[in-house]
């Protein structure tokens, strides 16, 4: 199955471009992330914490937020958004 994946933030340095086409066997959003990491190993640290997808990773399927266990239709497009690391904020007045 061929799926178009749009990546954001530091994932773009792993792919070299904003949108890539991924050949994979199909399945869930979690399966798509695993196939993406197989194709772009430099993305692993942004998407996984050990063997688990980071809870802060966001996935959309056809522009709708999707859970990791949701199936990805064969004609769907995905977007992967890793966690955005922020600095501390001083909110004292």
pLDDT at 85: 58
Residue 69 lies in a domain: yes
Rounded Cα gap, residues 56 and 47, in angstroms: 9
Residue 93 lies in a domain: no
In the structure, what pLDDT confidence band is assigned to residue 87 with cuts at 50, 70 and 90?
A: very low
pLDDT at 53: 95
pLDDT at 84: 65
Rounded Cα gap, residues 30 and 57, in angstroms: 11
Indicate which CATH number applies to the domain containing 15.
3.10.20.30
Domain that holds residue 36: 2-81
Residue 86 lies in a domain: no
Rounded Cα gap, residues 67 and 65, in angstroms: 7
The number of folded domains in the chain is 1
pLDDT digits (tens, 9 = 90+) for 8-62: 998 999 999 999 999 999 999 999 999 999 999 999 999 999 999 999 999 999 9
pLDDT at 86: 53
Rounded Cα gap, residues 29 and 87, in angstroms: 29
């Amino acid at each position: 199955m061929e799926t178009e994946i749009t990546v954001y933030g530091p994932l773009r340095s792993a792919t070299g471009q904003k949108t890539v086409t991924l050949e994979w066997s199909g399945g869930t959003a979690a399966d798509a992330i695993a196939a993406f990491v197989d194709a772009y190993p430099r993305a692993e640290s942004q998407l996984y914490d050990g063997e688990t997808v980071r809870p802060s990773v966001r996935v959309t399927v056809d522009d709708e937020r999707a859970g990791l266990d949701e199936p990805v239709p064969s004609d769907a497009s995905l977007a992967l958004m890793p966690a955005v690391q922020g600095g501390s904020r001083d909110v004292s007045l």
